[in-house]
Structures are given as C-alpha cells and as structure tokens.
Amino acid sequence: MRIGKLTNEELKEIVLSRLPKLSERTLIGANIGADCAWLDLGDKLLVTSSDPITAGGMQSGALSIHVSCNDIAACGIRPSAILTVLIAPPDCTKEDVIHIVEQASSTAKALGVDIVGGHTEVSDSVNRFIVITTAFGIADKNAPVPRGVAKPGDALIMTKTAGIEGTWIAAMEHEDALVGKVSEELLADAKTFIDRISVVEDGVTACSLPDKNGEVSSRGITYSSTHLMHDVTEGGVLGAAYEMADFSGIGVSVDLSKVPVAPCTKAICKAMDIDPYRLISSGSILVATDDPEGTVKAMEEKGIQASVIGAFTEKEFVLKDTEGNKIEFLPPQTDELYKM
C-alpha cells in the first residue's frame, strides 16, 4: 500500500465497515472527517482524540501535544489531559529520548494540559521516532458546541495561513536542502512557526458564539453558530475542506486566491516543488458557520487571523485556482510532507 493516510474509500472499506456498533453513550464515533469521539457522561460531555507523529523527527515532542490538543479545540472545547506513547528507534540515544520528552512536557505545560500517562519503549520495529498522543476535554452540556455537521450555505473560514506545520518541519528538518534556495530571513521566520501550531484559542473562540435561534439538542446540548470545525492536518487545507463536506454529506467551494499563504511557506514550497494547499498545517482550523461576520470579528479581537475562503454547497465540489479558473477538486491525497 502507498505511504500516508488511507484514502476515504480505503478507510471505509478496510476499517470503518468492520468496527462494532456503538453504544448509546457514544454521541459521535469513528467516521470520515470525525477527528474526535463524543461521549455522554450525564451532565458533562467527554471529547477525545488520538493522533500519531510519524515524520516530525526531533520536533515530534512538541508536535505530538499540539496535534491532539488541536483536535479537541476543533470541538470548541479546551483540552485538559493527554496520554503519550513514545516508540524510539534502536539507534537513538538517551539524550534523544530526553529531548522528545522534555519538548512534549514544556508544550503541554504551556497549553495547561496534564500528561497523565502513556508508554515509552525502544523498538527495532521503527527506524525513526513515533509519538502517539490521546487528548481529552470535558465540557458542560450548557456550553455551546458545534452541531457536528456543516450545512449548505455555511461560510468556510480558515484561521492563520496554509502549510504552517509543514513549513516548520521543512525549516527544522530539511534546512540543508533549502540553503541557497530560500533566504536566511525566510528560513528564520519559518523556524518560528512552532508558535503558530496551537489552535486551542482559535477553536474555543469560534465556538463561543451561541446559535442565533438558541436551539438545543434532544439531549439538552447547547448549539453554537459554528456548525463544524476541522483542524488542518495531513492533506492540508484542501484535504480538510473536502473531509468536512464529505462528513456532512454535502459539497464545498474553495477559492485558492482567498487562502492566505505566508511568504516563507511560498518560498519553501517552491524550492521543494510541493503544494502549500495540500501540505500538513496544524496551526490552522477550518470553520463552517452561518455567522461569518461575527466569527471573523471574534477571531480578530483575539488577534487571530481569519479569512473566508469559500462556502458549503448542496453537493458540488468546486475549486478555483489563484487565477479564478475552475480546476478538479480531488479527495484527500498523500500529504506533500512525504515528498520532502
């Protein structure tokens, strides 16, 4: 099989179709575009999500904390605890393991998240560091949360810029290949992108706006004007937008001329011949909302860049390039990161 995430079709055939039926306490389980599981705990909601870091190298400690916490934040809930599994290759050193652990610890501390357990081992089954994290968040049922699906007519909002995580990994892990092709100033800027990778504030802010009609679910859950969120991980902006629409059973339109791309990301992607719109981008979150003006304003008040880059449709998948020409909107592909 090819390297990278399974395609949506493969995931449905090989994995999802073989999972057992969910119990009534599980509100949302495994599905295309569903990064988090939701469990009903009575007057509370438990949200949890797992993610692996397989190509982060010596930056895997920080990335592992951010990616799982970002999934929780994409539900509008602040993460509170995390489990970490670290699998190290045989050629690593004691100092390498310490570096990864201390990096993860400082990142969790900065986010206010407890590392509550996990597992650590050295294995000849891997040839580089693999870090897998499972994050948890708990919320009251009267706190606004997304409905769980996007609706036709919803605006598609993106925070920050495309390819954030991939830009940082490229600068940190592949600098030798970029020297002479990307200026020192742009490389230096790319190395600061770790400071942009968390979307905890993005997600909590987007979900803070209550539903205009004050609707609640049959289980007493309060809805937000944000209908669905998805952090931009493997597959980039286009992969995330496609997954949101596919999960919701509708279509989506994206205009690439409205998708912000930082100068250092443009330079790195050009030098490495990769597509910034399909490059892993923890640090950005996509928001489906019927209140785009209010959402953008709330983001800006928190100092978070937010841009309307498209809208959800009844069933069409429409993609316009930066020149305004319609091009094919492909389902999520292998992330551009693997081309590095």
Q: How is 116-183 classified by DSSP, letter by letter?
A: EEEEEEE-TT-SS-EEEEEEEEEEETTS-B--SS--TT-EEEEES-TTHHHHHHHHHH-HHHHBTTB-
In this predicted model, what pLDDT tens digit does every residue of 219-249 receive, in sequence order? 667 778 899 999 898 899 999 999 999 989 9
pLDDT exceeds 60 at position 218: no
pTM: predicted TM-score of the whole model, two decimal places: 0.82
Structural domains for the chain? 8-140 (3.30.1330.10), 155-339 (3.90.650.10)
Query: What would the mean pLDDT of 125-144 be, rounded to a whole number?
Result: 92
Q: What is the mean pLDDT of the chain?
A: 92
- Alpha-carbon gap, residue 289 to 36, rounded angstroms: 19
Total residues belonging to the chain: 340
Q: Is the pLDDT of residue 212 over 80?
A: no
- The three-state DSSP-derived secondary structure of 204-251 is HHHCCCECCCCCECCCCCEEECEEEEEECCCCHHHHHHHHHHHHHCCE
pLDDT band with cut points at 50, 70 and 90 for residue 9: confident
Integer Cα distance of 276 and 161 in angstroms? 10
Q: How confident is the model at residue 147 (pLDDT cuts 50, 70, 90)?
A: confident
* pLDDT tens readout for residues 241-276: 999 999 899 999 999 999 999 999 999 999 999 999
